[in-house]
Amino acid sequence: EHLQTRHVSIPAGKSVQYTFPELFFYKPNLWWPNGMGKQSLYNVIITVDVEGYGESDSWSHLFGFRKIESYIDSGTGGRLFKVNGQPIFIRGGNWILSDGLLRLSRKRYKTDIKFHADMNFNMIRCWGGGLAERPEFYHYCDIYGLLVWQEFWITGDVDGRGVPVSNPDGPLDHDLFLLCARDTIKLLRNHPSLALWVGGNEQVPPPDLNNALKNDLKLHPYFVTSEEAGKSIQGLS
Amino acid sequence: MAEIGKIVLDSGWLAARSTEVQLTGTQLTTTHPPSGPTSPWMEAAVPGTVLGTLVKNKVVPDPFYGLENETIIDIADSGREYYTFWFFTTFERKLSGNQHLLLNFRAINYSAEVYLNGHKKVLPKGMFRRHSLDVTDILNPDGQNLLAVLVHPPDHPGEIPPEGGQGGDHEIGKDVATQYVEGWDWIVPIRDRNTGIWDEVSIYITGPVKIIDPHLVSTFFDGYKRVYLHATTELENKSAWVAECNLTIQVSLELEGSICLV
């Protein structure tokens, strides 16, 4: 059930997008945030063999089965999270980046993120004035069960506030911003620790960027189950 | 046949300030490669930043100790050229027929010109984007390849007002880049604005067909008893003929030690 091989023909010099028939799992081990259970990670390997050549490429990734929901509570104005249907009390740390000279090493990520887990945190927020964190950061968040709140690169202080008042329209090149955002999403989207994308820090991005991000990141209609469609909760992820 | 997969280029890099190198990228990667870490060349931090390279070589002190940052010249005062740097390395790889070699940059701040064996490629602007160059046709037949990268700082590095402030004069907000680098709350201004090859560089060998950015999604039913994994991927056929492929997906769980459930 967890091994499939399919035949695909790809025209010369072309790219195609291929979707495997869905793989069925009965009661898989779920990925849980720190303090709620184990961080079960499955190894997913995709390989492509070409007739007359042999193995042409291979890709692997650790994948965690988990469902993360969040919405703004109308009573408190706070964002509430559920993981695998269970409400979770978020205890978070704020993350700028591991080093201002970008001396980003696996060892440092491992140490810093394990430290957050040892402090009984279950979420790290990556501030919009810093980086979209790197796959090595997310790897250790997957391992140690830290949910990640990842912001894009918009902040009020250089995008609309300050003295003199900064440009509220965000970076000059909006197309470049979206290109970078889309590429970053593709880089990070398979990590189970990735919980929430946010437009920026203390600021809503300019309308065209905000609308594009919201549109690109909304749940694909194929994955909205009838169970979810019946709910009236706004912002269900 | 070279083994398929990724090789990270994270050692053996050299760097030099562009204004101190009188050679072109073509010369650096053909007839006049740097011979080693002798002036103006020094050992480079890749991935890393220009400032990180200067600290590594003790050309400037570590800005995060005491008030040492005050002794390092800011890009607003030095000009962008001061923090525009060449990075150089070599790699050895020989391909067999139908193999392809991609030169991957996972992130550069802010833009760059790449020279490989005398051939120029431009990496466009943007700090948070990947660049993937198919360099199969410009590899040297003997397997020895020379790579030079000229890295430019952000377009709007800005100035730091005497009183500091959030994001300095806010100019950095015009670029798609980290915004804290002009200083923020407790963060000192980063003198080079994080200019550099700041994330992984690798070469990647594939056959005629390459897997690009797979996407994994799971759906849950019946109280998490019935679960589905949905996998989509892009496949690129670089060859001049129709590629008949067998595409395989396998999911395993490491239960304990080296025991896997398939």
Q: Which residues of B touch A2 (CB under 8 A)?
A: 250-252, 262
What residue of A is the nearest CA neighbor of B256?
A40
What is the token pair recorded at A5? 């091989």
pLDDT of residue A236: 37
Percent of chain A scoring above 70 in pLDDT: 94
Chain B from 145 to 184: CB within 8 A of any A CB? 165-167, 170, 172-180, 182, 184
**Rounded CA gap, B207 and B185, in Å?**
50
Side-chain-side CA neighbours of B237 within 13 Å: the count stands at 22
Residues of chain B with pLDDT under 70: 255-262
Provide the pLDDT confidence category of residue A6 given band limits of 50, 70 and 90.
Answer: very high
CA A127 – CA A200 distance, rounded (Å): 8
Average pLDDT score, chain B: 95
* Exposed/middle/buried for residue A186 (C-beta within 10 Å: 0-12, 13-18, 19+): middle
pLDDT tens digits, one per residue of A33-45: 999 999 999 999 9
Chain B contacts of A12, Cβ < 8 Å? 237, 239-243
pLDDT band at A230 (very low <50, low <70, confident <90, very high): very low
pLDDT of residue B228: 95
- The answer to whether the Cβ–Cβ distance between A129 and B167 falls below 8 Å is yes
* Chain B interface includes A180 (CB < 8 A): yes
Q: Is A229's pLDDT higher than 70?
A: no
Q: How many residues does chain B have?
A: 262
Q: Are B90 and B33 spatial neighbours (Cβ–Cβ below 8 Å)?
A: yes
Q: Determine contact: A128 vs chain B, CB below 8 A.
A: yes
- For tokens 């003198």, name the residue: B191
Of A194, A77, A203, A221, nearest to B179 by C-alpha is A203
Instruction: For A74-105, write each residue's pLDDT tens digit.
Output: 999 999 999 999 999 999 999 998 899 999 99
A170, HSE (Cβ side, Cα atoms, 13 Å): 23
Q: Does B19 touch chain A (CB under 8 A)?
A: no
ipTM of this complex: 0.95
Cα–Cα distance between B158 and B161 in angstroms, integer?
10
Contact A101/B at CB under 8 A: yes
* B197 within 8 A of B47, measured Cβ to Cβ: yes
CA A103 – CA A101 distance, rounded (Å) = 6
Whether B28 and B120 have beta carbons less than 8 Å apart is answered as no
State residue B233's pLDDT score.
98
The C-alpha angle with vertex B209 and arms to B208 and B213, in degrees rounded to 5, equals 145
Q: What is the pLDDT of residue A233?
A: 38
pLDDT at A227 over 70: no
User: Is A67 close to B236, i.e. CB distance below 8 A?
Assistant: no
State both tokens at A213: 């991000």
Please list the active-site residues of A: 202
Pull the structure tokens for residue A236: 């269900």
**What value does the mean pLDDT take over residues A33-58?**
97
CA angle in degrees (0–180, nearest 5) for B104-B105-B109: 165
Contact list in B for residue A190 (CB cut-off 8 A) is: 214-216
State the average pLDDT over residues A158-184: 94
Q: Which of B180, B210, B212, B238 to mutate to test the interface with A (most CBs of A within 10 A)?
A: B180
The closest alpha carbon to A32, from A191, A118, A146, A190, belongs to A146
Residue among A63, A158, A179 minimizing CB distance to B170: A158
A120 reaches B (C-beta below 8 A):
no
Q: Supply the pLDDT for residue A225.
A: 60
Residue A2 Cα, gap to closest chain B Cα (Å): 5
* Confidence grade of residue A216 (pLDDT, cut at 50, 70, 90): very high
CB contact residues (below 8 A), chain B span 44-103, against chain A: 45, 47-49, 51-52, 55, 63-64, 98
A-facing residues of B in 94-133 (CB < 8 A) are 98, 106, 125-130
Which of A18, A131, A170 is opposite residue B247, by nearest beta carbon?
Answer: A18
Average pLDDT over residues A160-185: 94
